[in-house]
Each structure stands twice: as C-alpha cells, then as structure tokens.
Amino acid sequence: MSKATNQNQVKRYNRRQFLKQVGLGGLGVAGVSILGACAPAVTQTQVVKETVEVEKIVEVEKVVEVEAQSPWITGLVPSDLDVTFNYSSWEGEGEMRKWLLHFDNFFTKFYPNVNVQGDWGIPWGDYWTKMPTQLAAGAVIDMMWMHDTRAPSFANNGWLMPMDELLNAY
C-alpha cells in the first residue's frame, strides 16, 4: 500500500524552526522599513501665479573713434626714442634669461632704437655697495632690482622715483 499524502495536512514546526521563520520574517519587515526610509520624500507642489514687474535693459553698440595705442605703452614716450636703457640686478644667468627674453621682445617691438644695457650677476654683498657708489657718482640706472629692506636708504638719498603719477596717468 502506498502512503497517501494529505495536502491539507498542517506542517509542524519544532521550537528552533519556528524561531528561525519568525526571525527571517522580522528581517524582511526591517529591510522594507529601511528601504522605505531611503526613498525620497514626496512633496506636493502648488502652482501660484504672481505678477512681477521687470525692467527692460537694452544694449546698443556704439562706434567710437579712439587713437590706436598698444596696451604696453602710455604714449608718453615716443616709439622712435634713441637712448640707452640701463638696468642692474643681482640675479644670475638662469633667472635673467627670463627677464632678457621679455626685455628683448618689448624693446624690439615698441622701441627698436633703444639700446638695452644690463649689469647683472653681481654678488649680493657687492650689489649693495656698487649701486649706491654708482648712483652717488651720477650714473644713470633706469631700473634696478630692489630689496624692500634696502629701499628706505635709496629713497632717502633721492635714488628712487615715486611712480604714482605715472601709474595714475596710465
């Protein structure tokens, strides 16, 4: 005789199986709750119409005649100037290569007749005795490297020129 199974028969659980099933069900409920908390909040929006005054701005293109001038020169020094520009620096060759490139490009383009003469690579200690000596003797140095700790003594002797007026004119 074969054993017939009753599909309506209730499955029996022992205590361990029961606790396992209840625990899995609890985890499922907790997981759904956590996922629900991560969902974006649903907000209801309301459309409200307002009347707002807006000022109209109109841009107009206007042709203005101006004298063509390079942004590098103020027009105060004529481009056909034929003089020597003297500068001095304590910097060595590596640093001076950068400056010389700009000096050469600038003077060649805007002041081709200016002869640029530089005295650079002067050791730091010698520089601060050589410059005052040359200036006191009447040498013309158009530009020199200056350290902020040395500027007051050069200014007190009249060897530094304020550039405020030149900068304001530009």
Each residue's pLDDT tens digit, 21-52: 655 555 554 454 454 455 455 566 677 777 77
Residue 18 — very low, low, confident or very high, per pLDDT cuts 50/70/90? Answer: low
- 21 vs 3: which has the higher pLDDT: 21
pLDDT at 157 over 90: yes
Question: Structure pTM?
Answer: 0.53
Task: Give the per-residue pLDDT at 15.
Answer: 67
pLDDT at 163: 82
Instruction: Determine the pLDDT at residue 32.
Output: 46
Rounded to whole angstroms, the Cα distance separating 16 from 13 reads 8
How far is Cα 35 from Cα 118, in angstroms, rounded to an integer? 76
Range of lowest pLDDT (2-6, 40-44, 90-94): 2-6
Picking from 4-13, 48-57, 73-82, 133-142, which range would have the lowest pLDDT averaged per residue? Answer: 4-13
What pLDDT is recorded for position 102?
87
CA distance 141 to 119: 10
pLDDT, position 89: 94
List helix spans (H) across the chain: 15-38, 93-110, 124-136, 151-156, 164-169
3-state helix, strand, coil in the chain (%, to 5): 40, 5, 55
Could you read off the pLDDT of 128-154 as tens digits, one per residue? 999 999 999 999 998 899 999 999 999
Return all residues near 113 (Cβ < 8 A) that are at least 6 apart. Answer: 80, 81, 82
pLDDT more than 90, % of the chain: 31
Give the Å distances, CA to CA, from 12 to 69, 73, 167: 101, 101, 99
Two tokens, residue 117: 């003469």
Note the pLDDT of residue 19.
61
- Tokens representing residue 101 in the block: 């490139």
